[in-house]
Amino acid sequence: MSQDPNAKVGIDGSEVGANAAETGERDLSDQSIPAGDVVDDHEIHHGHLDFQDVVQQGHTASELDPDAPAVLTVENLKMYFPVKSSGLVRRTIGHVQAVDGISFEVPKGGSLGLVGESGCGKSTTGRLITRLYKPTGGSMMFQGNDLATLSPREMKPLRRNVQMIFQDPYTSLNPRHTVGSIVGAPLAVHNIVPKDKILSRVQEILEVVGLNPEHYNRYPNEFSGGQRQRIGIARALTLNPQLLVADEPVSALDVSIQAQVVNLLQDLQREFDIAFLFIAHDLAVVRHFCPEVAVMYLGKIVEIGDRETIYGHAHHPYTQALLSAVPDVKQAAIGGRRERIRLEGDVPSPINPPSGCRFRTRCQFAQEICAKVEPPLMQIGKRHKVACHFAGELGAHPATPVTASLLGVDDQGTPVPGAVPSSELNTGPGFEPRWLDLRTQQTVGA
Ligand SMILES: Nc1ncnc2c1ncn2[C@@H]1O[C@H](COP(=O)(O)OP(=O)(O)OP(=O)(O)O)[C@@H](O)[C@H]1O
Ligand code: SF4
Ligand SMILES: [Mg+2]
Q: Residues in the chain, how many?
A: 446
Q: Is residue 387 part of a domain?
A: yes
**Model confidence over 138-158: pLDDT tens digits?**
999 999 999 999 998 999 889
Whether residue 309 is found in the same domain as residue 272: no
Whether residue 281 is found in the same domain as residue 330: no
**Model confidence over 224-251: pLDDT tens digits?**
989 999 999 999 999 999 999 999 999 8
Last residue of a domain, one of 258, 276, 294: 294
Pocket mutation for ligand 2, best pick of 358, 390, 394, 409 (most atoms within 8 Å of C-beta): 390
> Which ligand has the minimum distance to the alpha carbon of residue 348?
1
CA distances from 128 to 18, 77, 124, 163, 340 (A): 10, 9, 6, 12, 34
Predicted confidence at residue 414, as pLDDT, reads 96
Last residue of a domain, one of 294, 325, 341: 294
Q: Is residue 41 part of a domain?
A: no
Mean pLDDT, residues 52-68: 73
Q: What's at 144, amino acid-wise?
A: G
pLDDT at residue 134 greater than cutoff 90: yes
Whether residue 108 is found in the same domain as residue 203: yes
For residues 374 and 389, what is the distance between their CA atoms, to the nearest angstrom?
9
For residues 193 and 191, what is the distance between their CA atoms, to the nearest angstrom?
6
- Give 234 Cα–ligand 1 centroid separation in angstroms: 26
- Give 103 Cα–ligand 2 centroid separation in angstroms: 19
Burial class (CB in 10 A: 0-12, 13-18, 19+), 281: middle
- Give 238 Cα–ligand 1 centroid separation in angstroms: 28
Whether residue 387 is found in the same domain as residue 268: no
Nearest to 68 by CA among 269, 248, 264, 247: 269
More reliable by pLDDT, 117 or 65: 117
- Give 26 Cα–ligand 3 centroid separation in angstroms: 16
Instruction: Name the residue at shortest CA distance from atom 24 of ligand 1.
Output: 118
Whether residue 65 is found in the same domain as residue 191: yes
Whether residue 223 is found in the same domain as residue 306: no
Whether residue 350 is found in the same domain as residue 271: no
Ligand 2 pocket check for 366: Cβ under 6 Å: yes
Instruction: Name the residue at shortest CA distance from atom 1 of ligand 1.
Output: 18
Q: Is residue 158 part of a domain?
A: yes
Whether residue 283 is found in the same domain as residue 339: no
Instruction: Name the residue at shortest CA distance from atom 4 of ligand 1.
Output: 81
Backbone angles phi, psi at 92, to 5 degrees: -80, 120
Instruction: Name the residue at shortest CA distance from atom 8 of ligand 1.
Output: 124
Domain of residue 413 covers: 298-445
Please tell me the number of Cα atoms within 13 Å of 135 on its side-chain side: 26
Please tell me the number of Cα atoms within 13 Å of 326 on its side-chain side: 23
Nearest to 184 by CA among 39, 7, 14: 7
Ion ligand 3: protein residues whose beta carbon lies under 5 Å = 123
Q: How confident is the model at residue 175 (pLDDT cuts 50, 70, 90)?
A: very high
Ligand 2 pocket check for 160: Cβ under 6 Å: no
**Model confidence over 21-40: pLDDT tens digits?**
333 332 323 323 333 344 44
Whether residue 289 is found in the same domain as residue 303: no
Q: Is residue 5 part of a domain?
A: no
Ligand 2 pocket check for 291: Cβ under 6 Å: no
Q: Is residue 21 part of a domain?
A: no
Whether residue 288 is found in the same domain as residue 307: no
CB 429 within 8 A of CB 379: no
Ligand 1 pocket list (CB less than 6 A): 18, 81, 96, 98, 116, 118-124, 281, 350
CATH of the domain at 197: 3.40.50.300
Nearest to 78 by CA among 106, 52, 101: 101
- Give 366 Cα–ligand 2 centroid separation in angstroms: 5
**Model confidence over 251-310: pLDDT tens digits?**
888 888 888 889 999 999 999 999 999 999 889 899 999 999 999 999 999 999 999 999
Pocket mutation for ligand 2, best pick of 359, 364, 369 (most atoms within 8 Å of C-beta): 359
Last residue of a domain, one of 294, 318, 347: 294
Q: What average pLDDT is seen over the chain?
A: 84
Q: Is residue 17 part of a domain?
A: no
Question: With pLDDT > 70 as the criterion, what percentage of the chain qualifies?
Answer: 84
Count structural domains, the chain.
2
Whether residue 272 is found in the same domain as residue 384: no
Predicted confidence at residue 297, as pLDDT, reads 98
> Which ligand has the minimum distance to the alpha carbon of residue 296?
1
Predicted confidence at residue 56, as pLDDT, reads 60
- Give 98 Cα–ligand 1 centroid separation in angstroms: 6
Q: Is residue 338 part of a domain?
A: yes
- Give 398 Cα–ligand 2 centroid separation in angstroms: 11
Whether residue 276 is found in the same domain as residue 322: no
Q: Is residue 104 part of a domain?
A: yes
Mean pLDDT, residues 111-116: 97
For residues 402 and 397, what is the distance between their CA atoms, to the nearest angstrom?
10
